[in-house]
Homo-oligomer: A and B are copies of this chain.
Amino acid sequence: MLRTAVAAGVEVCFANPGTTEMPLVAAFDAVEGMRAVLCLFEGVCTGAADGYGRMADKPALTLVHLGPGFANGIANLHNARRARSPVVNVIGDQATWHLAADAPLTSDIVSLARPVSGWIRSVTSAKSLARDTAEAIAAAGGAPGQVATLIVPSDCQWDPADGIARAIAPAAARRVAPEAVRRAAELLRKSSSPALFLGGQALRERGLLAASRVCVKTGARLLSETFPSRVERGAGRPATERLPYFPEQAIEMLNPHDTVVLAGAKAPVAFFGYPKMPSHLIPEGRKVEVLAEPTDDVAASLEALADEVGAPRDGAVRAQLSRPAKPTGALNPATAGAAIAALMPENAIVVDEAATTGGPFLAISATAPRHSYLGLTGGAIGQGLPCATGAAVAAKDRRVISFQADGSAMYTVQALWTQARESLNVTTLICNNRSYRILQVELHRAGVSEPGAKAKALTDLSRPDIDWVRLARGLGVAAVRVESADALVVELGRALHEPGPNLIELAL
């Protein structure tokens, strides 16, 4: 199994194994080329595999223990599914002949796996394990990527295998039909107020450059989805306007446009339903044209569209490098975002799970040095620290900035330990506002302007205050706390250039 995976180009396994995975654990030492990274909670394994997949554009393995162990990884697989990240889960299960005994850890793994997996197989024999592995890897790598889950009973691990299976080429992205390109071009030409709405692979550099050519030529507004898998941003790249999170603001942004062309994104919907608000954010009566589905070859379709509308090859608008001044004074979302934009090194990877603290960073960093930006695609919190961990494994020469809300960070805080063990170059900024601030906003939106004591307590992370410096140090990560923008600038300036992980607690 491991040799088949290596032959297919898989290099990393994020593992939290148990007894049913012992034959695989023992096998790691017999195989060259497969790095095993121990995570102390399965949600770290799956979130790391998601982050790795977004940066490496190929799958890592996760190795987890039966249904309950897998279940701990579901939330971040949900994010991976929404990100269309390539991930291969390997779930050890009871021996085939032991399943019927219904031992304590036995459960219906397929039922648990189905909601987050595009491909699932239960292995039935060691003889087919290599082939099953090759197929799982090919399934995960099918453009743009998906979660593939392989359930491997322990006897299928310890029985002799039938050699190595050859790698199978994953499905390539579908080419977009020329008619779709012509239709989109026609609509853009006819429209007086068009918008081009990007998502998924369209937000990589090639797609963005083509989309910018289209927009310059046709006057279309360049918009992008709210929670992208990965955006290539900063100096030298075209900037997009991100669709706001709250539906009334999103509708306001889309309202002026009579035509919306979708590339790599589904038509945007509200994150949640609210009374008297619609599900779909593009107002009724607009012309909506799908240039490319998320599974299509989006970049090629955008280039074809740019050519079709007659945009010059060098017609993209690229952001000019311009850092904000180093902020001073009070620490708040604006100064936190400015500090990152002022100090981030070139080619940084920014993992953004900063929630209500994160907003200002995006606007101010469009002209910062070029960087990759990874978003919370599925809304399942606890994604940031693991995703940063996996991104750092995938891109060891790049600094990872893990811009992180406190409430969400508590979900998968174990990731810090793996960052320490693997000496990963991750700088975590914990935005400690001692609350589930978004829920306080949502309570207010729901008309509860004066929440009672119980409702307040359910959105409040104080009593006791969490001491992030102690938590980080307890898990082996160097940490400091800052209470002003000036102190953040000093500490961040140092942290970004120290090898290995570190953490800064922002007292907001």
Expressed in whole angstroms, the minimum distance between the Cβ of A302 and any Cβ of chain B is 23
Known: A101-B270, A453-B29. A474 touches B463 (CB 8 A): no
Q: How many copies of this protein are present in the complex? A: 2
Q: For the complex, is A470 an interface residue (Cβ under 8 Å from B)?
A: yes
Q: Please report the C-alpha to C-alpha distance between residue A108 and residue B74 in the assembled complex, in whole angstroms.
A: 12
Known: A112-B74, A112-B115. A457 touches B275 (CB 8 A): no
Q: For the complex, is A314 an interface residue (Cβ under 8 Å from B)?
A: no
Expressed in whole angstroms, the minimum distance between the Cβ of A278 and any Cβ of chain B is 9
List the B side residues contacting A454 at CB < 8 Å.
Answer: 25, 28-29, 36
**Pairwise interchain contact B458-A273, C-beta atoms closer than 8 A:** no
Expressed in whole angstroms, the minimum distance between the Cβ of A283 and any Cβ of chain B is 15
Known: A22-B443, A279-B101, A442-B22. A411 touches B72 (CB 8 A): yes
List the B side residues contacting A403 at CB < 8 Å.
Answer: none
**Pairwise interchain contact A378-B269, C-beta atoms closer than 8 A:** no
**Pairwise interchain contact B107-A116, C-beta atoms closer than 8 A:** yes
Q: For the complex, is A250 an interface residue (Cβ under 8 Å from B)?
A: no
What are the interface flags for A66-82 relative to B under an 8 Å C-beta threshold, 1 for contact and 0 otherwise?
Answer: 01110110110011001
**Pairwise interchain contact A439-B19, C-beta atoms closer than 8 A:** yes
Q: Please report the C-alpha to C-alpha distance between residue A279 and residue B100 in the assembled complex, in whole angstroms.
A: 9
List the B side residues contacting A108 at CB < 8 Å.
Answer: 114-115
**Pairwise interchain contact A97-B279, C-beta atoms closer than 8 A:** yes
Q: For the complex, is A105 an interface residue (Cβ under 8 Å from B)?
A: yes
What are the interface flags for A90-110 relative to B under an 8 Å C-beta threshold, 1 for contact and 0 otherwise?
Answer: 000011011011111101110
Q: For the complex, is A421 an interface residue (Cβ under 8 Å from B)?
A: yes
Q: What is the chain B residue whose CB lies nearest that of A472?
A: B474
A-B contact pairs, 11 of them (CB 8 A): A19-B439, A23-B446, A26-B451, A38-B457, A68-B78, A68-B380, A101-B270, A107-B115, A112-B112, A410-B414, A464-B476
